Amino acid sequence: MPNTRDLKRRIRSIQSTQHITRAMKMVAAAKLRKAQAQVTAARPYAAKLEEVIGRLIGAVEPETQPLAASREIKKVGYVLFTGDRGLAGGYNANLIRLTEERLRVEERAVALVAVGRKGRDFFRRRRVEIVRDFTEIGDEPDLTQARELARQLVDLYLAGTLDEVNLIYTRFYSALRQVPQVDRLLPIAAGAGGATGGVAGGPLGDYIYEPAPDAVLQALLPRYCEIKVYRALLEAKASEHGARMTAMDSATENAAEMIDRLTLSFNRARQAAITREILEVVAGAEALQ
């Protein structure tokens, strides 16, 4: 029979864990809401930009645009967006698993750009080449961080360190469902936007481009990279918060279950102790007679 003092101590310890998991769940929920609002706010900009680029990229020779031109691929870069911290259920593990699979089937040379400590640490131990790493992104990424990251990726691409850049991040569908996926960032594929239309509703010929179509495109493509990286960052963070929220929710529930079970054994133990004491008293009284 476990003694009541130990049980009481365990119950108290689980209760304080539960307090922590519950707090983490609530914090994650608040941050999730914020990240979702950011994703929504970025949507009109991204849609418009894609529309204009989609219209332009078909009309301009892709070879004149360093960011859209295809070239021989010697080294493929994967940008892995993981969290800096754990305690988010399978969030980081799922991403790392997907990345490992990609690396296994990839026949060309690969290099990683690690965003987030978890991915960096894992692949550093595996001796995978990591050309850049970004940690301490924080829980609420902003545009400045995305711009800096996008700029460095574009530089790596233009310098020829990487001949293709892919983003591996978790797409956020709901607090319960986040799916890791791979998206190509560079070179920008023709028809990336795909949409047509716009104010004039016509093809390229109806527009005046100042100074010239290829110069306009040259100004737009880096912005396209920025918004894509920004979006990946936000989706990744929303997913991380969603995963953490779900994980902490079930941790809180598990703790509640454990407390119930322990409380039951505690009551039983206490009851047993009382019964034993009564028996002892009765036995003592009887011995006196």
Partner 1 sequence: MALLKLEVITPEGVTLKTDTGSVVAPGVLGYLGVLPGHAPLITPLQAGVVTYRPAGGGEEHLAVSGGFLEAGPEQVVILADTAEKAGEIDVERARQARERAERRLKERPPGLDVARAEAALQRATARLKAAGAL
Q: Would you count residue 207 as binding partner 1 (CB under 8 A)?
A: yes
CB 243 within 8 A of CB 178: yes
Among 44, 125, 136, 288, binds partner 1 (CB under 8 A): 44
Q: How far apart are the first and last CA of the chain?
A: 32
Judged by CB under 8 A, the residue of 7, 14, 49, 175 near partner 1 is 49
Q: Name residue, tokens 């009765």.
A: 282
Under the criterion CB under 8 A, does residue 211 sit at the interface with partner 1? yes
Comparing CB distances to partner 1, the nearer of 94 and 207 is 207
Contact call for residue 48 and partner 1 (CB under 8 A): yes
Binding segment (CB under 8 A) for partner 1, from list 13-21, 57-65, 112-120, 211-219: 211-219
Q: Is 216 in the site for partner 1 (CB under 8 A)?
A: yes
Phi, psi torsion values for 274, nearest 5 degrees: -65, -45
Give whole-number Cα distances, 144 to 35, 158, 203, in Å: 15, 21, 34
Look at residues 34, 35, 134, 118 and name the one whose alpha carbon lies nearest to residue 82: 118
Q: How many angstroms separate the Cα of 117 from the Cα of each of 86, 123, 132?
A: 10, 10, 12
Choose which of 27, 29, 143, 256 interacts with partner 1 (CB under 8 A).
143
Tell me, residue by residue from 52 to 81, as one string, x for binding to partner 1 by CB under 8 A and - for no binding: x---x-------------------------
| 116, two tokens | 């987030």
Residue 36 or 38 with smaller CB distance to partner 1: 38
Tokens (6 digits) for 194: 């795909």
Size of site (CB under 8 A) for partner 1:
29
Q: Which amino acid type is present at position 222?
A: P
Q: Which two tokens stand for residue 31?
A: 């941050």
- Per CB under 8 A, the list member of 105, 219, 287, 288 interacting with partner 1 is 219
Token pair belonging to 233: 């960052």
227 makes contact with partner 1 (CB under 8 A): yes
Given the rule CB under 8 A, which residues bind partner 1? 38, 41-42, 44-46, 48-49, 52, 56, 143, 198-200, 202, 206-211, 215-216, 219-220, 223, 226-227, 230
